[in-house]
Amino acid sequence: SQQGEEDPQALSIQEGENATMNCSYKTSINNLQWYRQNSGRGLVHLILIRSNEREKHSGRLRVTLDTSKKSSSLLITASRAADTASYFCATDASGGATNKLIFGTGTLLAVQP
């Protein structure tokens, strides 16, 4: 059961531009998380936003959450070639201590130098 769907599937931008990725999900959640994966490697946790929060910032990352639309967006400002990676949203609907996540299909971001 795929909870999160990312849009677009792939995104190519120039260094210095902003990159926006969107995520939609289906059911009520406790929190939504964004992860990054460099090619052929494991995922790295970037940021978490709780269901009662609307916006969160961390460095060049800005995440928004609209629970009425069941959607979230990840904005990377002033992108760098090193930001090239796949980005996944993941929703936690467990309501308990397991932190069980359901991942989306990911957005492949390519930042051209």
Partner 1 sequence: DVKVTQSSRYLVKRTGEKVFLECVQDMDHENMFWYRQDPGLGLRLIYFSYDVKMKEKGDIPEGYSVSREKKERFSLILESASTNQTSMYLCASSLSRGARMGQFFGPGTRLTVL
Residues that bind partner 1 (CB under 8 A): 1-2, 4, 30-31, 33, 35, 40-45, 48, 88, 90, 92, 97-106
Q: Give the residue with the Cβ less far from partner 1, 79 or 91.
A: 91
Q: Give the residue with the Cβ less far from partner 1, 54 or 100.
A: 100
Per the CB < 8 A criterion, the answer to whether 5 and 69 are in contact is no
The C-alpha atoms of residue 90 and residue 49 are separated, in whole angstroms, by 11
At closest approach, how far in Å is the CB of 112 from partner 1? 23
The C-alpha atoms of residue 96 and residue 111 are separated, in whole angstroms, by 38
